[in-house]
Amino acid sequence: MSCLIVQSDKTLLLEIDHELAPECRRSIAPFAELERAPEHVHTYRITPLALWNARAAGHDAEQVVDALIRFSKFPVPHSLLVDIAETMDRYGRLRLVGDPVHGLVLESSDRAVLEEVVRARKLKGMLGDRLAEDSVAVHPSERGNLKQALLKIGWPAEDLAGYVDGEAHQIDLADGDWELRGYQREAAESFHAGGSGVVVLPCGAGKTIVGAAAMAMTGATTLILVTNTVSVHQWKSELLRRTSLTEDEIGEYSGTRKEIRPVTIATYQVMAARRKGVYTHLELFDAKDWGLVVYDEVHLLPAPIFRMTADLQARRRLGLTATLVREDGREGDVFSLIGPKRYDAPWKDMENQGWIAPADCVEVRVDLSESERLAYATAEPEDRYRFCSSSETKTTVVREIVERHPQEQVLVIGSYIDQLDELGERLGAPVIKGETRNKERERLFDAFRSGELRTLVVSKVANFSIDLPEAGVAIQVSGSFGSRQEEAQRLGRVLRPKSDGRTARFYAVVARDTLDQEYAAHRQRFLAEQGYAYRIADAGDLLAGEEI
Amino acid sequence: MTDNARPGPGRSSDDPDGGPPGRPPTFTSWLRSRSDGELTALLTARPDLAQPVPADIGALAHRATSRNAALRALERLDRFTLQVLESVVALGDDRLSEPVGAQPAEIARGLGLTPSGAAGEDPLDEALDTLLRLALVWPDHGRLRPVQVLRELLPHPAQLGPPARALLAALPHGTAKRLADDLVPHSTATTPVETVATALSDPDRVAALVSQVGAPARRLLDNLAWGPPNGTVSDARREVGLATASSPVEELIARSLLVATGDDTLTLPREVGLYLRAGVLFQDVSTAPPAFEGRQVPPEAVSRAAAGQAFTVLRAVEELLERWSQEPAAVLRNGGLGVRDLRRAAQAMDTDEDTAALYLEVLRAAGLIGTDNRVAGEWLPTREYDLWRERSPEHRWLRLALAWLDSDRVASLTGSRDAGGRVRNVLGPGLVRPAAPRARLDVLTEMAGAEPGLAPEAGSLAARLAWRRPRRQSPVHTELAGAAVTEAAALGLTGRGALAEHTRPLLTTEGAAAGADAAAEVLAAELPQPLDHILVQGDLTAVAPGPLVTGLARELALVADVESTGGATVYRFTEESVRRALDAGRGVSDITGLLERHSRTPLPQALRYLVSDVGRRHGRLRTGSAGSYLRCDEPALLAELVADRRATDLELLLLAPTVVVSGLNRAALTERLRQLGYHPVPESGDGTMRLSRPEIRRAEPEPAVPDEGGRAPELARAAVRALRAGDEAANVARIPVSLPEGGTAGSRANALMEVLADAADGGRRVWIGYTDTDGRQVSRIVEPARVDGGFLTAYDTTRDAVHRFAIHRVTGVAELGDGG
């Protein structure tokens, strides 16, 4: 009896308390996406993308089937094994290769597949002349679109056409009081070996450093795309600290400044900005002969950037993210345009190794007062969520929680400005929201980082990519309805390792028996599935002074 | 029985009972001389002979030699035994010259076999044993004779033509006469045909005749020697004499080495063929089937794969039937299941449509699904299904496997078109192939002959089947055998192409059911046994790491939604699922109790909160139909509801702090309240909660198809007992009691009753002729007990029971002779 159960919907259940579980996990991780990791049984899913990722990483169907048969507790349905072998077999039947005469060529050893592809409607205009029985010319500009389209019709192409080296630029990792952690080196190396692809690491695990290491290995001019301006500055200071790059070598390309330097950091926003229907900053991609393009938070990559990326297929591309789950379901585009997954590590494993802070998640349930309930019941449907999630009663509870952590840096996160303003006022803390100027934001962040400021109230502008190393406590008072990804990002705020190894606290304050509770349940599902079991506490007990 | 195979010279086989000497031996008399054990073996091997039980040995002999029964027996012979039988037919034809019958040594020579010394190992001995056991040949003075009907069924045994006597008899008298005059000028035989036939029966004479013809004629003969024994020529019936023969063909005709059998057909007489072949009957004789070719798989892997498939089948059909319990599929007008419903069933069972069709057919054959007998009928699980679900997995599987083995329906025909161009539907008409069960048994039995773990290649299996059952080979049979292989794999009787160990016990001669217990034991060790525990996790899921005991599975499916199935089942607890359980009458403590009892892990806090939250809200509001009221223990909640702007259409009026009435009827009110996000519970008139639970529907099983019968030795033994008694009644010496002919009907009956009453007084046995209820004339030996009311009550030795005979049906009565 072993530890793996294969389900008919191609999910794999792994009993993690089993003695063979670690070995089994190592065997199945290359070809199955970890979907849920609660405390006893982890769920992996075998998807075509995951299988192709495995193929791209050099695993073959035999290994996959062997792993399933070896670890499966019950006999594996034969049809499923056949299906896996067939799916994996589809990857690499078609190869994109560079040809000295014809430039880019799509070739295949399987004529039938090539015939099917050549006749496919979706590929009209992407393919050029038939060169031989087993090869057809490809317009170089269609390299990305073709890969995208081929994935959609189920014949993902292996891109062996290589990369341009770009303009060389020496980048070294700086010596100092730090060194590359093992998994960071591994991630950078496996990316470099593949040429392009995605590295999946939890928040706080040092994705920026993986980026820096990849840049050092590539040794070429680099374009870095990040989510917002704060993030630009973060990357910049991190690169200055970790690499031999100097201030003059790093340019910032944002709404306010338009510098183009050997290493340029730009925001998605500015790249996606349009004037009269035209992308005005496209020339950035051609401004230099980039040797590497880094996409931070690849799961947030907006659609226009995908389109631009399709034209960048000859350059090395590194995607960094905490999760491959995209709320818009465009995982396939990430696979075909950025590249296959090159590295992945489960959150809990990282935590066990001490690379990210352990977290304690508590849901505090607040009873609405009778008058609030009456008001909630009579509220217009579109206002109901706002009403319950920003109820008066919550403020009292938040204050109580803040007071319970006198020694900690506390971050209060919410979505509704009115509520945040009120909280700021009651807690005597500054509020960072959309209208707060960048300069002011950074001043406040610096003050918070230095410990000068103990409590900070932030809106969802703080969701991504700001580094708050010492935030030991986060209190979430309201969220964007039910976004799973947002919850993960917010938890990520407190997961950076603490200097003294304390446990991070994550509070979600929720109004009982309302929409708030429903949405909270949905958001938390993602974290529960990552193994962060929520404790539930009653606000009444909390206010009565009970320990939680 | 070996003693009968080669009757020794010192033993006269015609009258082993010491019957009347001089009477020529017959098949019937030989049959009568067989021991009870041998007759039982005959009826076991040829069960169709005992259905219905023949009245006496004569009737048995008649039936055994009937065309259809003999054909059925021939089907069961393997290629070698069939060759031996053909040899007996070829050499033992009674139209060949005396002595009639074939000697075993001759047969061995004809087959090119050297008899081995050791008894019981000689393949020829074994084959002859089989043929005697099946009563296809019988011994006569140390020679073996085929039963007559085989002459028709095997017209060209070993590709030889008919005996010369038969060929010549069909010629015009003048032609035969001229041949006789030409070949044997001074014959003493009675007829020209006899003259020529006797001449040809002497190999030396044939040799002399053959040596007279020229080389071209000799080549012609050689071409025909190995069959087919017919040649075509224009004007075959031409008049040719020795003197007038001018062409090679004419040379042969004139010497009756070829005989006309049609206007343009010439046939080589058997005697001539045998001479030309130097007595050899077959060029290619293999006493054993061709060796298996295939892939060797570890036997454990085979059993594991097959058991895995068996488990998959169980899970799939249970999934489907649970679904059909609530949403049955419609019955087509032709009685089948529609294409769309089949597709849906395939989805539910997580398989393709061909396999789904197979599972459905098997379910019906096993009596687990049936139709309700309404006009717009529906396919439903039967009551049997509920009992079946309670059984252990191996027995559940066995029921399906046995049903498949016996079923004459072939699921793979689904989707094909019948002669009228109509598409055949699964569970519908047109899927019956009576040969299917035999084909399945043949295939599996053949596979059982391979080494454990050997997965034979399709070609190799087909070659062996062709050797084993040469008479059954046909495109239809090949198709059925192919389907059987696929279906056996889909049902888990084979794994990775080889026969599973748990299938082996089902392939006994006593029928599959006899081996069921042994099979169950083997299978049980491989199948995952039902669990009674689950793992509950913080993300509000529960995992059952294997199949669950039925009761727990049903309870869990009520409390939680099934998220994925397979080897394990993943359940997810949601507000709706918990409410469903509460609606079905479970309490909060019932649910947590159930989970605590069965969870291997501590219940996560979040789940307790979920259950108690829903429980807390569930039923807080109660709706009523009497005037439609709402009541609640919390005045505030009612106040809230009454104040709810969305609830204005409910026409609510606060009746008391805890009671509100509504102008709507209860159903509409409940519906609206639920839409508003409350969880009201309807109340019945006396103030108790009304619970709703989905009703599970069932159909009656179809009557089981009666067992093929005759297979079981007891039945065969009983048949032999009846036969013997019948035979005695038919053959015993009897002294007829004369009854008044003519006269009134009453006088005859009176006379009859007198004789019978007298026998009853004297305790004597008498013979009676009787017209049974089917109008058949039967004879019985009875021991009359009493005669009254127009009935004779008597002990009937044929049936070994006391029976009542209507006097008016008694056709005659006789006192028994000394022998009786």
pLDDT, tens digit, for every residue of B166-218? Answer: 888 888 888 888 888 888 777 777 788 888 888 888 888 888 888 888 888 88
- Are B138 and B147 in contact, with CB atoms under 8 Å apart? yes
Positions in chain A whose pLDDT score sits under 50: 465
User: In the predicted model, is pLDDT for residue B611 greater than 70?
Assistant: yes
CA distance A167 to A218: 10
Inter-chain contact B539–A528, Cβ cutoff 8 Å? Answer: yes
pLDDT of residue B2: 38
Please check whether residue B617 touches A, CB under 8 A. Answer: yes
Residue type, A182: G
Q: What integer best gives the mean pLDDT of chain B?
A: 83
Q: How far is CA B449 from the centre of its chain?
A: 20
Chain A's closest residue to B608, CA to CA, is A536
Long-range contacts (CB closer than 8 Å, 24 or more residues apart) made by B699-702: B699/B369, B699/B370, B699/B371, B699/B372, B699/B378, B699/B379, B699/B380, B699/B381, B699/B382, B699/B383, B700/B370, B700/B382, B700/B383, B701/B367, B701/B368, B701/B370, B701/B382, B701/B383, B701/B384, B702/B364, B702/B367, B702/B370, B702/B382
- DSSP 8-class letter at B688: P
Put simply, the answer to whether A78 touches B305 (Cβ < 8 Å) is yes
Whether the per-residue pLDDT at B117 is higher than 60: the answer is no
> What span, in angstroms and rounded, lies between the C-alpha atoms of B362 and B304?
22
Q: For residue B493, what pLDDT is reported?
A: 92
Chain B residues touching A347 at Cβ < 8 A: none
b vs e for B375-410, b when ≥16 Cβ sit within 10 Å of the residue's Cβ? eebbbbbbebbeebbeeebbbbbbbbbbbbbbbebb
Q: Which amino acid is at A243?
A: T
pTM above 0.90, yes or no: no
Q: Of residues B83 and A524, which shows the higher confidence score? A: B83
- CB-nearest to A77 from B312, B543, B605 is B312
pLDDT given at position A548: 66
On whether the CB atoms of residues A396 and B665 are closer than 8 A, the answer is no
Q: What span, in angstroms and rounded, lies between the C-alpha atoms of A219 and A339?
A: 20
Give buried/exposed letters for B433-462 (b at 16+ CB in 10 A, else e): bebbbbbbbbbbbbbeebebbbbbeeebbb
Nearest-angstrom CA–CA distance, A199 and A465: 16
Burial class (CB in 10 A: 0-12, 13-18, 19+), A162: exposed
> Where do the domains of chain B lie?
65-157, 164-276, 294-526, 535-598, 620-682, 732-816
Residue of B303, B494, B537, B679 for testing the chain A interface, max A β-carbons within 10 Å: B537
- The Cα–Cα gap between B786 and B802 comes to 11
Contact: B643, A533; criterion CB under 8 Å: no
Architecture of the B732-816 domain: Roll (2.30)
Three-class SS string for B794-810? EEECCCCEEEEEEHHHE
B545 contact A CB<8A: yes
CB-CB under 8 Å, A377 with B643 = yes
Q: Under an 8 A CB cutoff, do B309 and A78 touch?
A: yes
Distance of CA B801 to the CA centre of its chain: 32
**Confidence class for position B23, pLDDT limits 50, 70, 90:** low
Q: How far apart are CA A2 and CA B628, in angstroms?
A: 58
Nearest CB among A6, A41, A374 relative to B567 is that of A6
The CATH number fitting domain B65-157, selected from 1.20.1440.230, 1.10.10.10, 1.10.3210.10, 3.40.50.1820: 1.10.10.10
Question: How would you class B118 by CB atoms within 10 Å of its CB: exposed for 0-12, middle for 13-18, buried for 19 or more?
Answer: exposed
Residue whose C-alpha is closest to residue A95's, from A104, A87, A103: A104
Q: How would residue B15 be classed by pLDDT, with cut points 50, 70 and 90?
A: very low
CA A14 to chain centre: 24
Rounded (10°) angle between helices A48-56 and A78-90: 60
The DSSP output letter for B771 is E
Q: Using CA atoms, how far apart are residues B43 and B34, in angstroms rounded to an integer?
A: 12
Residues 6 or more apart in contact with residue B676 via CB below 8 angstroms:
B644, B646, B647
Peptide bond into B52 cis (omega under 30): yes
Query: E-assigned strands of A37-102?
Result: 41-45, 94-99
Nearest CA in chain B to A381: B646
Neighboring chain B residues of A5 at a CB cutoff of 8 Å: 545-546, 566-568
> Which of A7, A75, A533 faces B564 most closely, judged by CB atoms?
A7
Which chain A positions have a beta carbon within 8 Å of B617's beta carbon?
A: 513
* Largest interatomic CA distance in chain A: 81
Contact between B545 and A73 using a beta-carbon 8 Å cutoff:
yes
What is the predicted pLDDT for the residue at B283?
Answer: 83
Choose the closest CB to A38 out of B308, B537, B640. Answer: B537
- Please list the residues that pair with B683 across neighbouring strands: B689
Choose among B524, B515, B546, B486: nearest CA to B397: B524
Cis peptide upstream of residue B228 (ω within 30 degrees of 0): yes
Per-residue pLDDT of A508-517, as tens digits, reads 888 888 888 8
pLDDT of residue A1: 53
B312 and A CB contact within 8 Å: yes
Residue B409 confidence class, pLDDT cut points 50, 70, 90: very high
Instruction: DSSP letter for A282, please.
Output: T
Nearest-angstrom CA–CA distance, B264 and B167: 15
User: What gap in Å lies between CA A404 and CA A472, rounded to an integer?
Assistant: 13
Which residues are CB-contacts of B235 (< 8 A; sequence separation ≥ 6)? B263, B264
**Pick from B566, B609, B617: CB nearest A6:** B566
Contact B570 A7 (CB under 8 A): yes
Q: Which two tokens stand for residue A276?
A: 């009269």
**Whether the predicted pLDDT of B491 surpasses 90:** yes
Question: Where does the pLDDT of residue B664 fall: very low under 50, low under 70, confident under 90, or very high at 90 and above?
Answer: confident
Size of interface A-B (CB pairs under 8 A): 109
CA distance A515 to chain B (A): 10
Interface contact A74-B639, CB threshold 8 A: no
Q: Measured between CB atoms, does B528 come within 8 Å of chain A? A: yes
Chain A interface test: which of B531, B539, B679 (most A C-beta within 10 Å): B539
Please count the helices (runs of H) and the strands (runs of E) in chain A: 22, 25
pLDDT: which is higher, A492 or B445: B445
> Residue B427: which of B411, B444, B445 has the closest Cα?
B411
The rounded distance, in Å, linking the Cα atoms of A142 and A227 is 27
Is B525 near chain A, with CB under 8 Å? no
Q: Which of A10, A11, A40, A373 to mutate to test the interface with B (most CBs of B within 10 A)?
A: A40
Answer whether A74 sits within 8 Å of B308, measured CB to CB. Answer: yes
